[in-house]
Structure formats: structure tokens, C-alpha cells
Amino acid sequence: MSKKSPVLGAVLGFFILGLFYSTGFTKKGVIAVLALGFISWGTGLTGIAELGGIVAIVGAYLGYKWTKEYNAAVGDAPV
């Protein structure tokens, strides 16, 4: 397995569905996408744009963090 780009993980994480790049279709990734999607949808209904921006930043952070964790796991895996 090859390593993934943390920068690409952060950019795709900004768009919530891009978190699947970082985690794959794992339980952690699906729960995060559903939770952030629901929060983003709820803030969209309230009309508070600042909260939507915060959700996007959280998604970017998670994308970066989980890509780094994936790369660490791939680096430790036996060949």
C-alpha cells in the first residue's frame, strides 16, 4: 500500500465527503461523514454561516490527522 498525501487529505477533508480519502470506508470514516454532514445541514437551516465554516475546518483537520495516522500505520506494516 502506498502512502497518502496529508495536504490532499486536508483539502478533501474541507469538503466533508473527502474524509473517505483519509479513512477509506471504515466505521470511523462513515460516522465522521454522517455526523459532520448532519451538523453542516443543521447549521445551514439555522442560517448561521460561521458554524458551517467551523465544520469545514474540522473536516480539514480530521482529513489531515487521519491521513498522517494512515501513513504511520503503512510505514509500520511489514512488506
Note whether residue 1 is domain-resident: no
Provide the domain count of the chain: 1
Q: Is the pTM of this model over 0.85?
A: no
Query: Distance (Å, rounded) from C-alpha 72 to C-alpha 3?
Result: 9
pLDDT the model gives residue 64: 94
pLDDT the model gives residue 60: 93
Note whether residue 79 is domain-resident: no
User: Is-contact 8 57, C-beta < 8 A?
Assistant: no
List per-residue pLDDT tens for the chain, 79 residues long: 788 999 999 999 889 888 888 888 889 889 999 999 998 888 888 888 788 888 999 999 999 999 999 989 888 766 5
Cα distances from 1 to residues 13, 14, 72, 78, in angstroms, run 21, 24, 12, 11
Note whether residue 25 is domain-resident: yes
Domain of 46? 6-74
